[in-house]
Amino acid sequence: MGKKTKKILDNSNSPFYKWFPDGTLNTSYNAIDRHVLSGRGDQDAIIYDSPVTNTKKRITYSQLQYKVSQFAGALTKLSVVKGDRVIIYMPMIPEALVAMLACARIGAVHSVVFGGFASNELAVRIDDCKPKVIVSASCGHEPNRIIEYKPLLDKAIEIAKHQVEKCVIFQRDTFKAQLNPNYDIDWNQIIKDVSLAKSVEVDANDPLYILYTSGTTGKPKGVVRDNGGHAVSLKWSMNNIYNVNPGDVYWAASDIGWVVGHSYIVYAPLFHGCTTVLFEGKPIGTPDAGTFWRIISEYKVKVLFTAPTALRAVKRDDPTGEYIKNFDITSLQSLFLAGERADPDTVLWLEDKLKIPIIDHWWQTETGWPVASNPLGIEALPIKTGSPTLAMPGYDVQVLSEEGKEVPRGTLGAISIKLPLPPGSLPTLWNADDRYIESYLATFKGYYETGDAGYQDEEDYLYIMSRTDDVINVAGHRLSTGAMEEALSNHIDVAECAVVGVYDDLKGQVPLGLICLNKGCNKTHEIVCKEVVDLVRNDIGPVAAFKSVAVVSSLPKTRSGKILRATIRKIADKVEWEMPATVDNPLVFEEIKKALKPLGY
């Protein structure tokens, strides 16, 4: 189905570029129906493996077609039509994928919210994208506890100004939620007797989804993904970057709440006719550090994609790789890493233990697919540890100076991409064209600013060194220290605060907070610190991993009042630092050092 585009790029309204402006398609049709029609109906589309609930399940392309058409029918029954938004707040279960694909089938725009975010974050997203319906489940499973979704969802609905019409709740066998008769509907009830929904033809530039990601401020950015460029770029990447073929088993051990999950658990493997593995568990502790290798051997996984932090956890629990020896993982052709810097220690350990190419590649929620990689399907380039290799076709990556000039090779600068961005990358932010320009296009005229700093070597290999903004990367999860500071400031006893990302050998980075208390606060420091830790957990969610905070009498600032966060970070990381020339009160650093000691810094 769909109409071939006559034009490739419409640049008449730059910087709002449109790829394939007169093409039409349906994403769900391309991910499912096309394969059923070409004879892949009996092939597994999804293999669901959930050590946290002891469940394994296979869903063929034909079965997926039925489930998706049925749930799309249910959404239609709830009056969801093309262009309406649907929030999906679900654990890693097949129904989450079914809900995403069902939205795509009827042209509705989904917005998946990661389960580790608290009600407040969910409420912010509800108010921004104004969903007609929310799809959720009774619970999620963390290794040590069951997460009840309904109380989180109910609280978010209460906080949000936008009124959600209906919530569809999937009741899991492990825990049944109490439904609210005013707006909740049981998934299994609503799918009964519905008419199966057909794929709706949408324009290539119609939005497929909105995915919120952290920026400098507390307000997340709603990254928009269109249908056409998304399908083209992801399909292309499966062959050319990951070197997999239709029929192969591909596993992205991530979460559907993140872009890696959207692109490489759901859409790309299905566009390409692969079998995707949906894993509900952790790299360690469910039950042990052998889980990844067990899954690879059991399902003959050809390519694994995960975050370095997951493998650091495996390496820490099993440094000599004993678990690897228990499984036949000869099906594994290559391992791709992204989401954070791939530290050479972990990469070298993996090379030694697995004896396959370990490919670091670099991208972002905004780009939707790899900006820099080693394109194994085109040509396996020599690997340089510490580099995600070269810019992929479509990305004109340049490293710029503050003045916006390309810097010489080997010189650190702002990694930027010359416009237009390729198909698949964000066309704008949801309902926020101005913010899109301000956030990404305002610093360097004609370029998209990635927010990462780094350099290129003489052979154009890229090296990603750090962020240039307040984004930190905690266990592969992108978080905003600005958002955490906003949460801390809401505490009645906090006069001022700063949050920085400090080095952590497992999670890469973890947040560290410094707070100054209001005069007259008569609580002990210990009590206030516990309260602010709870506040961040309740406002942002457990995924923020905000556990370390110290009280100081003042924060180090420049004479113009800017908090010297970079210096605080260096002190905590115990790396060399120089007294900033413009600091207003040099003694404050001694106090910080003292305050951080009991926290292990």
Distance CA 415, CA 395 (A): 12
Looking at the DSSP bridge assignments, the partners of residue 417 are 397, 448
The position carrying tokens 């049981």 is 186
Q: CA 64, 66, 68, 69: dihedral to nearest 10 degrees?
A: 150
191 binds ligand COA (CB under 6 A): no
Nearest residue (CB) to ligand COA, 152 versus 564: 152
294 binds, among ligand COA, ligand AMP, none (CB under 5 to 8 A by kind): none
Q: What ranges make up the beta strands (E) of 30-118?
A: 44-50, 55-60, 85-89, 109-112
Pick one of ligand AMP, ligand COA, none as the site partner of residue 360 (Cβ within 5 to 8 A by kind): ligand AMP
Cα distance between residue 484 and residue 499, in whole Å:
7
CA distances from 306 to 2, 142, 278 (A): 34, 18, 13
| Least distance between ligand COA and beta carbon 215 (Å) | 17
CA 141 to chain centroid, in Å, comes to 19
Give which of ligand COA, ligand AMP, none residue 566 binds (C-beta under 5 to 8 Å, depending on kind).
none
Question: Of ligand AMP, ligand COA, none, which one does residue 341 interact with (CB within 5 to 8 Å by kind)?
Answer: ligand AMP
Q: How far is the CB of 367 from ligand AMP (least distance, A)?
A: 8
Q: Tell whether residue 414 is a contact of ligand AMP (CB under 6 A).
A: no
CB of 451 to ligand AMP, least distance (A): 6
- Minimum CB distance to ligand AMP, residue 254 (Å): 10
Label residue 130 left, alpha or beta by phi (over 0 means left) and psi (-120 to 50 means alpha).
left
Residue 288 CA: distances (Å) to CA of 55, 143, 291, 564: 16, 11, 6, 41
Which residues between 349 and 368 bind ligand AMP (CB under 6 A)?
360-362, 364-365
Which is it for strands 9-10 and 18-19: parallel, antiparallel or unpaired?
antiparallel
Q: Interface with ligand COA includes 371 (CB under 6 A)?
A: no
* Residue partners of 265: CB distance under 8 A and separation at least 6: 97, 252, 254, 256, 276, 277, 278
CA dihedral sign of residues 357, 363, 369, 370:
negative
329 binds ligand COA, rule: CB under 6 A: no
* Residues in 315-354 that interact with ligand AMP by CB under 6 A: 338-342
According to the binding rule CB under 6 A, does residue 543 interact with ligand COA? yes
Q: Does 424 bind ligand AMP (CB under 6 A)?
A: no
Is the CA virtual torsion 11, 15, 19, 22 positive or negative? negative
CB closer to ligand COA out of 142 and 591: 142
Classify 264 in phi/psi space as left (phi over 0), alpha (psi -120 to 50) or beta: alpha
Q: Which is nearer to ligand COA, 121 or 493 (CB)?
A: 121
107 vs 339 by CB, closer to ligand COA: 339
94 binds ligand COA (CB under 6 A): no
Cis amide bond preceding 207, omega within 30: no
Residues within window 48-77 making contact with ligand AMP, judged by CB under 6 A: none
| Choices 175-183, 282-290, 391-399, 564-572; region in contact with ligand COA by CB under 6 A | 282-290
With CA atoms as reference, report the closest residue to 453 among 441, 466, 442, 471.
466
Q: Is 259 in the site for ligand AMP (CB under 6 A)?
A: yes
Q: List residues binding ligand COA (CB under 6 A).
A: 115-116, 140, 142, 147, 253-255, 258, 260, 282-284, 306-307, 309-310, 313, 338-339, 475-477, 506, 542-543, 545
Q: Which parts of this chain interact with ligand AMP (CB under 6 A)?
A: 213, 258-259, 338-342, 360-362, 364-365, 388, 450-452, 464, 467, 473, 478
